A and B are shown apart, each in its own frame.
Chain A
Amino acid sequence: MCQVIFVADIRKPLPKATPETQEFWDGVKQGKFILQRCNDPKCAKVYFPPRPFCPVCASRSVSSFAGSGRGKLASYVINHRPAPGFDAPYGICIVDLDEGPRLMTSIVGVPQTPEALVLDMAVELAPTVASDEISLPTFRPVGA
């Protein structure tokens, strides 16, 4: 199987991990989408972005786990304004993960057009290497 590696332009704004998010960013580098879950069985909320407590019940007892890395394209725009580090036009997308949480991301490996970016299409994690420390949790259409 051919492994496609997506590499980001160095002028792109890069995330800087905090103690609360380091595990997530380490996970993306290993091709995993780390989610968190409340340990209280009555709550069991799965959430993102990471934080050391449950945003629903405020419990500090939470666990991390590797999510499926799969979801659906929920919404997006195609940016036409010039942007340093990006080749306009490009999509800025929201993906709803199968586990529930949603996130902003890019859909890579397909043309950035309304015809190729179809709402509700199934997508899967396809990280983009942005630096030695950071890979971004970008997605591609399932089967692409």
Chain B
Amino acid sequence: MKRKSVAIVGASETTELGVIPHLSQMGLHADAALNAMADCGLSPKDIDGVATAGQSPTEIAWYLGITPTYVDGTSVGGCSFMLHVRHAAAAINEGLCNTVLITHGESGRSGIGRGGFGGGPSTLGGQFEAPYGIFGAPNTFTIPVLRYMKQYGVTEEQLAMVAVVQREWAGRNPRAAMRDPITVDDVLSSRLIAWPFHLLECCLVSDGGGALILTSAERAKDFPTKPVYILGTGESVETPMVSQMEDLTSSRAFKVSGKKAFDEAGISHKDVDHLMIYDAFAHLPLYGLEDLGFVGRGEAPAFIAEGNTRMGGKLPLNTNGGGLSYAHSGMYGMFALQESVRQMRGTAPAQVAGAKIAVSHGVGGMFGAAGTIIMSNEAP
């Protein structure tokens, strides 16, 4: 895409976050959408593009009273919203529409108006993974990490450090669900979920949502909010089954998506002031740091343990506290994007002073998909 040709002008999460038993999943979408429209002074009649995942874009458009000329129902898991941003930028540049609303809502905790999970017994996953006792992400997404740990000599203590550092960030964020400091011992003595993963190395389960509004950079100047320009974008998919990853220590989708986004943005890694890596589990920031090229193979555990990603470090990472400590609705990618926008607007609770370029990287499925969005707050 053309650098800085499109900007995020509206961004908001749901009014509440965490446990929201009085709203259906559809209601969470709508609450976030209404907040995002209010954020930038738009109403549904101003929106002519709709994108969402987990819910049909037809439902969203109808529910909010939008008549779109552009619809994106790409649903590849938690990074779907990164892909929506990318597609929206292309659609706006191509003239398919002017203003795109991207919504997320998930009643992950309360399960109000939520659809089922997984496929039937004749799907590939139903035949070749479900029979071995995988029940959701905690004992599926985690399977590759022992190979990674053996290959690079990573200890359980180093894996635990990912959760410890992110909790430090969450301590600065009043909306974060878990704010009390934790130690490596706390992590390793928390309940075993799927060895080598303990409870504190697994993401939260929350109700919540978020929405973004994008328009052309030209038009963005007329909005009351500080525009956040899209600098580069990437996306890819690898496999619907974690057991079929080409390399258990690295995500092909991460590498392809990240390289495309950096190439589009025309930046190098040292230009990045702020980084979000979707952390459903503690190993994801490790894979993300390496597959995006911020560090070499096997170097991420030491990079985090040495404090590079914590407050005051050279690469602030997951500054909202992440899926491990802030919130995780099920498809967390929208929350990573929201924190990137806050950092670029200069409104984050744990603001990185002077941050100009933010990278937001999401995963979908169990290393199944990836989306990468690079943002800038500097006008073209």
Binding site for B on A (CB under 8 A): 8, 12-18, 21, 25, 49, 74-81, 83, 85-86, 89-90, 92-94, 102-106, 114, 119, 130, 136
- Asked whether, in the complex, the Cβ of A104 is within 8 Å of the Cβ of B134, the reply is yes
Docked pose: A83 CA to B194 CA in angstroms:
12
Residues in A whose Cβ lies below 8 Å from that of B143? 75-77, 92-94, 104
User: Which single residue of chain B is at the shortest CB-CB distance from A21?
Assistant: B127
- Asked whether, in the complex, the Cβ of A15 is within 8 Å of the Cβ of B130, the reply is yes
CB within 8 Å for A77 and B135 given contacts A15-B127, A17-B127: no
CB contacts under 8 Å to A, within B100-133, are: 120-122, 124, 126-133
Q: What are 27 residue pairs bridging A and B, where the CB atoms are less than 8 Å apart in the complex? A: A8-B131, A13-B126, A13-B131, A15-B121, A15-B122, A18-B122, A18-B127, A75-B248, A76-B146, A77-B196, A77-B197, A78-B194, A78-B195, A79-B133, A79-B193, A79-B194, A80-B191, A81-B138, A83-B135, A90-B133, A92-B132, A92-B134, A94-B144, A94-B248, A103-B128, A104-B132, A136-B132
Closest chain B CB from A91 CB (angstroms):
9
User: Which single residue of chain B is at the shortest CB-CB distance from A103?
Assistant: B243
Residues in A whose Cβ lies below 8 Å from that of B135? 79, 81, 83
- Asked whether, in the complex, the Cβ of B121 is within 8 Å of the Cβ of A77, the reply is no
Binding site for A on B (CB under 8 A): 120-122, 124, 126-135, 138-140, 142-147, 150, 191-197, 241-244, 248
Residues in B whose Cβ lies below 8 Å from that of A15? 121-122, 126-128, 130-131
- Asked whether, in the complex, the Cβ of B139 is within 8 Å of the Cβ of A79, the reply is yes
Docked pose: A21 CA to B241 CA in angstroms:
16
Docked pose: A17 CA to B131 CA in angstroms:
13
Main secondary structure on B side of the interface with A: mixed
Docked pose: A25 CA to B126 CA in angstroms:
13
- Asked whether, in the complex, the Cβ of A93 is within 8 Å of the Cβ of B138, the reply is no
User: Which single residue of chain A is at the shortest CB-CB distance from B138?
Assistant: A81
> Max chain A CB contacts within 10 Å: which of B121, B134, B135?
B135
- Asked whether, in the complex, the Cβ of A130 is within 8 Å of the Cβ of B144, the reply is no
Residues in B whose Cβ lies below 8 Å from that of A106? 132-133
In the A-B complex, the 3 residue pairs with the smallest Cβ-Cβ separation, listed nearest first, are A104-B243, A15-B127, A75-B147
User: Which single residue of chain B is at the shortest CB-CB distance from A84?
Assistant: B135
Docked pose: A90 CA to B194 CA in angstroms:
9
User: Which single residue of chain A is at the shortest CB-CB distance from B124?
Assistant: A49
- Asked whether, in the complex, the Cβ of A75 is within 8 Å of the Cβ of B145, the reply is yes
Closest chain A CB from B303 CB (angstroms):
22
Residues in A whose Cβ lies below 8 Å from that of B196? 77
Docked pose: A119 CA to B144 CA in angstroms:
12
Residues in B whose Cβ lies below 8 Å from that of A105? 132
Residues in B whose Cβ lies below 8 Å from that of A94? 143-144, 147, 242-243, 248
Docked pose: A24 CA to B146 CA in angstroms:
29
- Asked whether, in the complex, the Cβ of A12 is within 8 Å of the Cβ of B243, the reply is no
- Asked whether, in the complex, the Cβ of A16 is within 8 Å of the Cβ of B134, the reply is no
Closest chain B CB from A19 CB (angstroms):
10
Docked pose: A80 CA to B130 CA in angstroms:
16
Residues in A whose Cβ lies below 8 Å from that of B197? 77
User: Which single residue of chain A is at the shortest CB-CB distance from B128?
Assistant: A49
User: Which single residue of chain B is at the shortest CB-CB distance from A136?
Assistant: B131
Residues in B whose Cβ lies below 8 Å from that of A90? 133
CB within 8 Å for A74 and B131 given contacts A13-B126, A14-B121, A80-B193: no
Residues in B whose Cβ lies below 8 Å from that of A77? 139, 142-143, 145-146, 194-197
User: Which single residue of chain B is at the shortest CB-CB distance from A86?
Assistant: B133
- Asked whether, in the complex, the Cβ of B146 is within 8 Å of the Cβ of A75, the reply is yes
- Asked whether, in the complex, the Cβ of B131 is within 8 Å of the Cβ of A49, the reply is no
User: Which single residue of chain B is at the shortest CB-CB distance from A49?
Assistant: B128
Residues in B whose Cβ lies below 8 Å from that of A85? 133
Residues in A whose Cβ lies below 8 Å from that of B133? 12, 79, 83, 85-86, 90, 92, 106
User: Which single residue of chain A is at the shortest CB-CB distance from B192?
Assistant: A80
Residues in B whose Cβ lies below 8 Å from that of A136? 131-132
> Max chain B CB contacts within 10 Å: which of A12, A75, A92, A114?
A75
Contact of B122 (CB < 8 Å), options: A17, A89, A92, A114:
A17
Residues in B whose Cβ lies below 8 Å from that of A78? 192, 194-195
Residues in A whose Cβ lies below 8 Å from that of B243? 94, 102-104
Docked pose: A89 CA to B143 CA in angstroms:
14
Residues in B whose Cβ lies below 8 Å from that of A49? 124, 127-128, 244
Closest chain A CB from B191 CB (angstroms):
7
For the complex with contacts A79-B133, A83-B135, A86-B133, 7 further pairs of A-B residues with Cβ separation under 8 Å are A16-B122, A74-B248, A75-B147, A81-B139, A81-B193, A93-B132, A104-B128
